[in-house]
C-alpha cells in the first residue's frame, strides 16, 4: 500500500470511528426514506466502510460499490447526526480509493481528462447534442442502443436533458456586456457548464439582475469547476481543473466571484481541501474560495435595488443541497423572492431534501433518482404554487423532468430569473 493510500485510509478511519450507531440519520436520508434499506442510510454506509477498513469485506465487492454509489452525498444525514459524521466525505474518500484500485471506466476518463478541461471541446459536445436533438438523431442513437455505451442507466435518463439552444451563454453574453454608470460593485461571474450549455437564458438574467444592482460583470475564461470528476473519485482531474480556474480567478480586482450554480459555488469553496498537500496552490485556493458567493448571497448582502415590479403569483422554493448545506445559503434566496411585490411565497415540506438529481446521479441510478424525486414532487404539489424556484441548473433539470412526469401545473425557474422578471415589470 502506498504512503498516500495509507494516509487516506487513516483519515477515513478517523472519520468513521465518530459514528455511535444511534440511527438518527434515518430521519434525514432521502435514499433511506425512499427504500427503507439500512445499507442506504448513513449508519449502514459508514458500517460498510468500517468493515472494509477492518478487512472483513473488500471495497471492490459489488454490494459495497452499490451502497456507496447510491449515496447522493446530499449531507442531510450530517445535520441530523449528533457527532456530525461527514458521510458524504467518507463516501467520497472511499470511492477515490476504489478508483485507485480498479481504475476508471474509459467514458469517464475521456470526459474528465479530455473534454472538461477543454472549453472548445465541451462546447463542441454541447453542439453535437443540440444537433442530435434538432435533427432527431438522438432518437436514432437511442434505437441503435448507442447511448448504452455511457453505461448503467444513461440511456433511460436522456429525456431529463432539456432541449439545448444553438448558442451557449458565453456566445450570447458579449452582446449585452456594457459599462455601468455609477458602478458600486464589480464581480467575476463564474459561468458553470450547466448554465453555459443548458440554460444560457439564466446567464443573461443573472447579468441583467447584477446590472440592475449597479454591479459591473466580468466573465473570466474558466473551465468546469471540477465537481463531476470529484463525484467519481477522480481527484487528479478535479485538481487539474481547479488549478486552471485558480490561475484565472486569483488576484482579480473584484468584490466577489459569483455563480448562479450551487454546485460550482460549493466546489470552488472546497478548493482548499483539494490542495491540502500543495503549498503552491493552497493559499491561492483559500483566497479564491473566500471570494466565492452564490449570486443570491451577494445580492442579499449589498444595498439591494428594490425597485421591482409586481409579480402576482405563488412561488415555492427547493433548496439545492450544494447551497443549503455545503454553502449555508437558504435565507437569502427566500429573502429575495419575498421582496418581489405581489409574490406569495409558500414554503414546502422538506424543502431542503435532495431532489435526486445529485449531479449525474439520475444517469447512474435512474430508478432511485425518480423515487427520491417523487417524494419532492408530492411535497411541492401540496403548496399549490405556480413556480418552483431553485438555485442550481442541475436541480432545475431534475425538477423540470419531475414536473413533466407528474403532470404538475408548475414552472421550474431559477430565483434570479424571477427577480429578472420583476425588474422588467418595474415602472
C-alpha to C-alpha distance for 86 and 104, rounded to whole angstroms: 25
- Single residue of 16, 52, 71, 264 touching ligand SF4 by CB under 6 A: 71
| Stretch binding ligand SF4 (CB under 6 A), from 40-48, 154-162, 244-252, 383-391 | 40-48
Longest dimension (CA), the chain: 69
3-class SS of residue 50? helix
Provide DSSP, 326-364: TS--SHHHHHHHHTSTTPEE-PPTTTTS--S-TTTHHHH
Q: Which is nearer to ligand SF4, 83 or 342 (CB)?
A: 83
Nearer to ligand SF4, 71 or 418 (CB): 71
Smallest CA-to-CA distance from 387 within 331, 333, 423, 426 is with 333
What would the grid cell of residue 361 be? Answer: 446521479
Instruction: Tell whether residue 238 is a contact of ligand SF4 (CB under 6 A).
Output: no
Query: If binding is defined by CB under 6 A, does position 21 make contact with ligand SF4?
Result: yes
Q: How far is the CB of 300 from ligand SF4 (least distance, A)?
A: 27
The answer to whether 360 contacts ligand SF4 (rule: CB under 6 A) is: no
* Part in contact with ligand SF4 (CB under 6 A); list of ranges 6-14, 69-77, 283-291, 377-385: 69-77
Contact region with ligand SF4 (CB under 6 A), list: 16-24, 142-150, 275-283, 338-346:
16-24
Q: How far apart are CA 265 and CA 268, in angstroms?
A: 5
Q: Is 202 in the site for ligand SF4 (CB under 6 A)?
A: no
Q: Distance between CA 120 and CA 122 in Å, rounded?
A: 5
The yes or no reply on residue 77 touching ligand SF4 (CB under 6 A) is yes
Provide Rg for the chain, Cα atoms. 21
Given the complex with ligand SF4, which of 64 and 285 has the nearer CB atom? 64
Task: Give the binding range for ligand SF4 (CB under 6 A) out of 22-30, 212-220, 291-299, 323-331.
Answer: 22-30
Q: Which is nearer to ligand SF4, 48 or 254 (CB)?
A: 48
Comparing C-alpha atoms, which of 75, 69, 63, 55 is closest to residue 9?
55
Is 76 a binding residue for ligand SF4 by CB under 6 A? The answer is yes
Interface residue with ligand SF4, options 74, 94, 157, 340 (CB under 6 A): 74
d(CA 294, CA 321): 13
**Distance of alpha carbon 211 from alpha carbon 203, whole angstroms:** 12
Three-point CA angle 400, 422, 395, nearest 5°: 20
Q: How far is the CB of 69 from ligand SF4 (least distance, A)?
A: 11
Q: How many residues bind ligand SF4 (CB under 6 A)?
A: 29
Within 10 A of 202 (CB to CB), how many other CB atoms are there? 24
36 binds ligand SF4 (CB under 6 A): no
Site for ligand SF4 in 78-117 (CB under 6 A): 80-81, 83, 85, 87-88
Q: How far is CA 375 from CA 1, 35, 349, 356, 379, in A?
A: 43, 12, 10, 10, 6
Among 12, 16, 29, 222, binds ligand SF4 (CB under 6 A): 29
Which residue in the set 8, 45, 169, 266 belongs to the binding site for ligand SF4 (CB under 6 A)? 45
Binding residues among 273-332 for ligand SF4 as defined by CB under 6 A:
none
CA-nearest of 136, 61, 74, 126 to 368 is: 74
- The residues of the shown chain that bind ligand SF4, judged by CB under 6 A, are 19-25, 28-31, 41-43, 45-46, 71-77, 80-81, 83, 85, 87-88
Amino acid at each position: 500500500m502506498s504512503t498516500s493510500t495509507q494516509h487516506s485510509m487513516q483519515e477515513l478511519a478517523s472519520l468513521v470511528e465518530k459514528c455511535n450507531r444511534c440511527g438518527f440519520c434515518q430521519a434525514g436520508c432521502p435514499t433511506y426514506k425512499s427504500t427503507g434499506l439500512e445499507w442506504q442510510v448513513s449508519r449502514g454506509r459508514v458500517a460498510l466502510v468500517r468493515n472494509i477498513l477492518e478487512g472483513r469485506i473488500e471495497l471492490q465487492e459489488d454490494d459495497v460499490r452499490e451502497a456507496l454509489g447510491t449515496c447522493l452525498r446530499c449531507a442531510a444525514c450530517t445535520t441530523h447526526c449528533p457527532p456530525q459524521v461527514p458521510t458524504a466525505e467518507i463516501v467520497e474518500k472511499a470511492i477515490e480509493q476504489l478508483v485507485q484500485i480498479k481504475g476508471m471506466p474509459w467514458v469517464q476518463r475521456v470526459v474528465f481528462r479530455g473534454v472538461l478541461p477543454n472549453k472548445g471541446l465541451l462546447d463542441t459536445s454541447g453542439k453535437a447534442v443540440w444537433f442530435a436533438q434538432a435533427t432527431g438523431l438522438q432518437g436514432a442513437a437511442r434505437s441503435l442502443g448507442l447511448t448504452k455505451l455511457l453505461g448503467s442507466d444513461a440511456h433511460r435518463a436522456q429525456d431529463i436533458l432539456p432541449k439545448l439552444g444553438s448558442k451557449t451563454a458565453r456566445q450570447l453574453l458579449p452582446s449585452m456586456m456594457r459599462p455601468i454608470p455609477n458602478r458600486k460593485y464589480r464581480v467575476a461571474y463564474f459561468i458553470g457548464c450547466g448554465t453555459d450549455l443548458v440554460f444560457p437564458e439564466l446567464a443573461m438574467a443573472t447579468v441583467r439582475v447584477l446590472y440592475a444592482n449597479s454591479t459591473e460583470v466580468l466573465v473570466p475564461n474558466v473551465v468546469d469547476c471540477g465537481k463531476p470528476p470529484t463525484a467519481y473519485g477522480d481527484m487528479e482531474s478535479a485538481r487539474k481543473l481547479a488549478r486552471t480556474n485558480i490561475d484565472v480567478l486569483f488576484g482579480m480586482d473584484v468584490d466577489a466571484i459569483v455563480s448562479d450554480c450551487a454546485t460550482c459555488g460549493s466546489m470552488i469553496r472546497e478548493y482548499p481541501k483539494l490542495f491540502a498537500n500543495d503549498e503552491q496552490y493552497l493559499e491561492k485556493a483559500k483566497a479564491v474560495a473566500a471570494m466565492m458567493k452564490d449570486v443570491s448571497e451577494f445580492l442579499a448582502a449589498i444595498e439591494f435595488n428594490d425597485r421591482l415590479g409586481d409579480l402576482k403569483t405563488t412561488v415555492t422554493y427547493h433548496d439545492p443541497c450544494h447551497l443549503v448545506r455545503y454553502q449555508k445559503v437558504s435565507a437569502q434566496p427566500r429573502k429575495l423572492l419575498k421582496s418581489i411585490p405581489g409574490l406569495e411565497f409558500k414554503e414546502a415540506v422538506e424543502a431542503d431534501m435532495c431532489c435526486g438529481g445529485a449531479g449525474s446521479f439520475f444517469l447512474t441510478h435512474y430508478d432511485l433518482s425518480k423515487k427520491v424525486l417523487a417524494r419532492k414532487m408530492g411535497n411541492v404539489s401540496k403548496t399549490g404554487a405556480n413556480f418552483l424556484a431553485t438555485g442550481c441548473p442541475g436541480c432545475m433539470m431534475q425538477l423540470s423532468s419531475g414536473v413533466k412526469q407528474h403532470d404538475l401545473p408548475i414552472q421550474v425557474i431559477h430565483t434570479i430569473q424571477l427577480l429578472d422578471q420583476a425588474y422588467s415589470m418595474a415602472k
